[in-house]
């Protein structure tokens, strides 16, 4: 086992960060196109307030397959077992997506439960229909990306995301040109945007499936058999807390547009929400990549101090970057010139970005502590942290809705920032024993002593 270095951390992190960053540019790109088509407020609100939150909820049980595959796909038997789970789970969730989009079940969920403005109900349903490929393709590519990361091919993840972005952009360009080249044809913004997303995730899944084949036939097949053998019991003991983590987290997503719909400037806030969230996501994406880095590298000697320092530096850089964007004319340029919002919505979005100032740094710290716990298979602590996140976020949304004095966009984003701060506090507390044990291990290795086991 080789001693870890900053070079190794960076070499593992930057392709994953690039992947998340590419993914983060997807929402601003789509929002910029939709903002330049007919009825931009309605279609942006339909996408950001209904389609995207519902799609995230439906995919929640498989979104943690990347972490599970990175941690557990150590031999062929383990890979094949989790592959079967991925296929069945992806298929079942796609069927659920179909039922919500194509049957009368849609209206109780969107109209009664979410309570969104009437003018976005039908456009959102069309977008949800077009997003049918979303869940299964994400399950397929995230699982195979985990295998690539496990065996040192994290660069392939970044390449896959670039392919996704290119396919997305190509579909958007094709539909916009088709719309403008035929005066009799008027494509709604929601159709253009969700078609681009579907094309992107399909292309990325195809690439991941092809790219992983040499690894499956080479490194994975040659890997020694893991003992004890991965059983369904041990897999579900590891994965169910992660599933609960994702499900609980995603359930809070539609709560935000539902709360915003009941606050001042509801339609304007819903229209600005995907644009602000997309830009904030680009800064937060640097931290999202760190979870898999920690899961893959914490076992290396000397890893604890290096991984902690890297996380702290990354948190400071990303936070300062977003603040700089928010307080300078860069934000107005982004929201008005690039994203295509009118000046009034641009000013609203800039205030929302200020509300998100601490979000990137908190995301880095969350993934640092979460990666520590996942590495040691203490995933139940991650579930508890998400319960705290959702409870805190919902409490803030309820208070903001009851007061009805503040712009919905500001309350919605602030609620998530406050919730994530509470989540990070719990993860820090829960990870202390593991970090103490890994630090002691590193100290003993430096002294030339035997490698001790990490205490439970």
Q: Tell me: the pLDDT tens digits for 284-314? A: 988 988 988 998 889 888 899 999 999 999 9
Calpha distance 138→288 (Å, rounded): 16
Sign of the torsion angle spanned by Cα atoms 326, 423, 315, 54: negative
CA dihedral of 388, 391, 393, 394, whole degrees rounded to 10: 170
Stretch 172-196: mean pLDDT: 86
Residue 453: predicted pLDDT: 44
Calpha distance 345→341 (Å, rounded): 6
Calpha distance 361→41 (Å, rounded): 30
pTM (two decimals): 0.74
Give the pair of three-digit tokens for residue 73. 């796909």
Query: Over 90: is that where the pLDDT of 139 sits?
Result: yes
Query: Over 80: is that where the pLDDT of 264 sits?
Result: yes
Query: Over 50: is that where the pLDDT of 454 sits?
Result: no
Domain boundaries, the chain: 6-446
User: Using an 8 Å Cβ cutoff, are 234 and 72 in contact?
Assistant: no
Residues contacting residue 297 through CB under 8 Å, at least 6 positions apart? 4, 8, 9, 12, 303, 307
CB atoms within 10 A of CB 118: 7
Residue 105: predicted pLDDT: 93
Q: Kindly tell me the number of DSSP H helices and DSSP E strands found in the chain.
A: 22, 0
Which is higher by pLDDT, 226 or 65?
Answer: 65
The whole-chain average pLDDT of the chain stands at 88
Residue 1: predicted pLDDT: 46
Residue 184: predicted pLDDT: 67
Highest mean pLDDT (candidates 32-46, 255-269, 314-328): 314-328
Query: Over 90: is that where the pLDDT of 315 sits?
Result: yes
Query: Over 50: is that where the pLDDT of 455 sits?
Result: no
């Amino acid at each position: 086992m080789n001693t870890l270095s900053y070079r190794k951390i960076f070499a593992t992190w930057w392709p994953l960060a690039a992947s998340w960053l590419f993914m983060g540019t997807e929402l601003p790109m789509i929002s910029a196109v939709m903002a330049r088509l007919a009825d931009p407020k309605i279609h942006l609100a339909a996408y950001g307030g209904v389609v995207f939150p519902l799609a995230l909820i439906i995919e929640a049980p498989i979104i943690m397959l990347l972490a599970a595959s990175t941690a557990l796909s150590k031999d062929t038997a383990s890979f094949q077992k989790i592959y079967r789970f991925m296929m069945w789970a992806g298929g079942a969730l796609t069927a659920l997506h179909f039922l919500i989009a194509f049957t009368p079940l849609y209206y109780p969920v969107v109209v009664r439960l979410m309570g969104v403005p009437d003018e976005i109900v039908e456009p959102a349903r069309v977008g949800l229909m077009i997003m049918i490929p979303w869940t299964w393709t994400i399950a397929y590519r995230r699982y195979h990306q985990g295998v690539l990361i496990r065996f040192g091919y994290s660069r392939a993840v970044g390449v896959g995301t670039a392919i996704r972005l290119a396919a997305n952009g190509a579909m958007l360009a094709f539909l916009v040109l088709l719309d403008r080249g035929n005066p009799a044809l008027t494509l709604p913004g929601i159709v253009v945007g969700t078609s681009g997303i579907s094309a992107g995730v399909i292309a990325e899944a195809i690439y991941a499936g092809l790219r992983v084949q040499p690894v499956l036939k080479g490194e994975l097949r040659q890997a020694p058999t893991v003992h004890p053998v991965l059983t369904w019991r041990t897999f579900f003991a590891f994965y169910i807390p992660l599933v609960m983590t994702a499900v609980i987290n995603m359930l809070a997503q539609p709560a935000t547009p539902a709360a915003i719909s009941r606050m001042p400037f509801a339609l304007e806030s819903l229209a600005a929400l995907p644009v602000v969230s997309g830009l904030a996501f680009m800064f937060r994406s640097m931290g999202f990549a760190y979870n898999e880095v920690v899961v893959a590298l914490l076992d290396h000697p000397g890893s604890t101090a290096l991984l902690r320092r890297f996380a702290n530096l990354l948190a400071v850089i990303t936070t300062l970057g977003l603040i700089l964007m928010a307080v300078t004319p860069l934000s107005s340029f982004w929201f008005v010139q690039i994203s295509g919002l009118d000046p009034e919505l641009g000013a609203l979005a800039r205030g929302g970005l200020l509300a998100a100032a601490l979000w990137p740094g908190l995301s880095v710290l969350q993934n640092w502590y979460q990666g520590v716990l996942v590495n040691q298979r203490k995933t139940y602590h991650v579930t508890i942290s998400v319960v705290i996140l959702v409870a805190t976020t919902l409490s803030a949304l309820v208070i903001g809705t009851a007061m009805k004095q503040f712009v919905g966009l500001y309350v919605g984003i602030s609620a998530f920032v406050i919730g994530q701060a509470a989540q990070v506090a719990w993860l820090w507390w829960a990870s202390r024993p593991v970090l103490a044990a890994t630090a002691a291990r590193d100290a003993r290795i430096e002294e030339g002593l035997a490698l001790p086991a990490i205490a439970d």
